[in-house]
Structure 1
Amino acid sequence: MYIVPEAAIADILTRDAAFDAVENVFAAMSAGDAYNFPVIREAIGHEDALYGFKGGFDGKGMSLGLKAGGYWPHNLAERGLINHQSTVFLFDPDTGKVAAMVGGNLLTALRTAAASSVSIKHLARKDSKVMGMIGAGHQAKFQLRAALETHQFEKVIGWNRNANALSTLADVAAEFDLPFEAVSLEGMVEADVVISITSVFSPIFGAAHISDGTHVACMGTDTIGKQEADTDLVTKATVFTDEVAQSVTLGEAQHAVGAGLKSREDIHELGAVINGTHKGRTSDTEITLFDGTGVGLQDLAVSASIVEIAKAKGIGLEVDF
């Protein structure tokens, strides 16, 4: 078994590598070459934590395994640890033997950011200039960096309940020599692309906050009951997702589908757009929305890339298990 510890991930995984791995596995899913296993996610009754498992098998990339982990909301304030904690395990699909164990914390942030940036590449208008962010928590800076590499953006705007936290987004904008402006939610109508990355269970924004032609990526907490966008926006938009089954049960689309405002057939795979079997955006006035639920295959694809690079660089540890 090859072990790649959390501390080594930053020296191995680039945003480009994460993007390529996620884009390829979305395409494989849509083509029927890869599939996810049912998600297990439970409140454990201790430390207000959510814990679960995501896994799957990619018959094209030959990745088999699972990610174990969850969300410990008191970690940062009480222990100085990030709230999301996870580890990925890969298995040899030919023999079933465990092949690798990979630190999953930074990996999760980068693969989640890669998913939204893949959606922006394939669904946002080519002339998009203003990048909007709703939420400024731990993962927001990863989201913004990846998004800014997809288009020639000229400005970043952001909203967060605690406005002081927006300094993180301003710093990332400065890395790209772009101006940053803190706005109200009503001011988000200026954005051509919007990423929401929050952990909420009641909508923060809706159709009134999003202009025609905007691409929206809802990337926050993936669990039953989550809701970042009002159903009026989800109903108005053309909705794409990583996996339809997750989107309609624990993703952003669950409420619109549950209320009969959208059907399962109204939710489209982003992988189909990548493969060219779905046309994607059809006009410059269409609102597109990516419901990023976070699938196990993303973690496996990125982990497989990490292990490959780690072995080539001599990073990590091989043990007889």
Structure 2
Amino acid sequence: MLIVPEREIADLMTRDAAFDAVEGVFAAMAAKDAYNFPVIREAIGHEDALYGFKGGFDKAGMALGLKAGGYWPNNLEKHGLINHQSTVFLFDPDTGKVRAMVGGNLLTALRTAAASSVSIKHLARKDAKVMGMVGAHQATFQLRAALEQRQFEKVIGWNYHPEMLPNIEKIAQEAGLPFEAVPLEGMAEADVVISITSTFAPSIMADHISEGTHIACMGTDTKGKQEVEAALLARSTVFTDEVAQSISIGEAQHAVAQGLIRESDVHQIGAVINGTHKGRTSESEITLFDGTGVGLQDLAVAASVVELAVKKGVAIEVDF
């Protein structure tokens, strides 16, 4: 078995490699060459922690396995650790033998940023100029990846805790772009919006988003969570990583429950990548990507990082 420790990930996994892995697995899902297993996510009744498993099998990329982990909200204060903790396990599809164990913390952030970036590439208007960020916790990863997809000229941002907005401003400045803190109503100026919050009540209302905008909702991955008003999905053409997750634990759960959209109104982004769905059809259309986070994303980036670790000689081999 190969082990790629968390400490090695930053020197191995690039944004380009993460993007290619996620784009490829989304395409495989739409072509029915890859599928996710049912998600298990439970409150364990200790330390207010949520723990679970996401897994799947990518026949095209021959990646089989799961990510185990979750959210420990007291980690930073009590233990000096980040609150999200995860590990990816890969297995040999031919034999079932364990193949690799990979640190999953940084990989999770990179694959989430890659997913929103893939959606921008395939769904945002080509002339998009203003980038909007709602939420600042993962802004470093999200914004860096997003800015590579269009010739943006300005970044605007909003966060529940305004003192965290310098996280966004720093990345904008690194890219040589001006940054402006705005109220949520100010998101109407944005051509692309990424929302990555952990809320159970919507922050973004339908009238906060202008015609022609692409919005990537990346924070809703649990029943009850909600980042945007359900009416916004009714105004939009909705895409997602996996339809079953979108309507059950993703952003579409609320719009479907309220009868504003149907399951058939939610489309796989992989179909756009494959060319079997036309994607954006007009300059005035609002496109919305519901990034629920699927196990296959984790397997794809983990398999890529294992390959890179072997090439660079930093993978640890153990007899298991």
TM-score by length of 2: 0.99
Are 2:220 and 2:291, in contact at CA under 8 Å, matched by a contact in 1?
no
Q: For residue 317 of structure 1, what is the amino acid of its counterpart?
A: I
C-alpha distance in 2 between matches for 1:161 and 1:61: 40
Q: For residue 61 of structure 1, what is the amino acid of its counterpart?
A: G
Encode CA deviations 1:59-78: one digit per residue, 9 max, x unaligned: 00000000000011111233
* Alignment map for 1:13-92 (pairs within 5 Å): 13-92=13-92
What's the CA shift for 1:200? 0.5
What's the CA shift for 1:108? 0.1
The equivalent residue for 2:247 is 248
* Alignment map for 1:220-239 (pairs within 5 Å): 220-239=219-238
C-alpha distance in 1 between matches for 2:8 and 2:26: 26
Encode CA deviations 1:130-186: one digit per residue, 9 max, x unaligned: 00000011x221011100010000110000011110000000111111111100001
What's the CA shift for 1:80? 2.0
Are 2:55 and 2:66, in contact at CA under 8 Å, matched by a contact in 1?
yes
Are 2:37 and 2:54, in contact at CA under 8 Å, matched by a contact in 1?
yes
C-alpha distance in 2 between matches for 1:158 and 1:79: 31
The equivalent residue for 2:294 is 295
Encode CA deviations 1:240-265: one digit per residue, 9 max, x unaligned: 00000000000000000011111100
The equivalent residue for 2:211 is 212
What's the CA shift for 1:101? 0.2
Q: For residue 244 of structure 2, what is the amino acid of its counterpart?
A: A
* Alignment map for 1:1-321 (pairs within 5 Å): 1-137=1-137, 139-321=138-320
Considering only aligned residues, what root-mean-square deviation do their CA atoms show, in Å? Answer: 0.6
Percent identity (aligned): 76
Q: For residue 153 of structure 1, what is the amino acid of its counterpart?
A: F
Q: Please state whether the residue corresponding to 1:67 is helix, strand or coil.
A: strand
C-alpha distance in 2 between matches for 1:78 and 1:213: 45
Q: Please state whether the residue corresponding to 1:10 is helix, strand or coil.
A: helix
Q: Please state whether the residue corresponding to 1:203 is helix, strand or coil.
A: coil
Q: Please state whether the residue corresponding to 2:165 is helix, strand or coil.
A: helix
Are 2:124 and 2:192, in contact at CA under 8 Å, matched by a contact in 1?
yes
Deviating 4+ runs (over 4 angstroms): none
C-alpha distance in 2 between matches for 1:46 and 1:155: 44
C-alpha distance in 1 between matches for 2:150 and 2:221: 27
C-alpha distance in 2 between matches for 1:259 and 1:51: 29
TM-score by length of 1: 0.99
C-alpha distance in 1 between matches for 2:29 and 2:249: 19
> Which stretch of structure 1 is more off in the superposition, 41-50 or 268-277?
41-50
- Gaps in structure 2 of 5+ consecutive residues: none
Encode CA deviations 1:10-54: one digit per residue, 9 max, x unaligned: 000000000000000000000010000000001111111110000
What's the CA shift for 1:316? 2.2
C-alpha distance in 1 between matches for 2:228 and 2:53: 26
What's the CA shift for 1:221? 3.7
C-alpha distance in 2 between matches for 1:38 and 1:157: 37
C-alpha distance in 2 between matches for 1:180 and 1:121: 22
Q: For residue 85 of structure 1, what is the amino acid of its counterpart?
A: Q
What's the CA shift for 1:129? 0.4
Are 2:220 and 2:251, in contact at CA under 8 Å, matched by a contact in 1?
no
- Gaps in structure 1 of 5+ consecutive residues: none
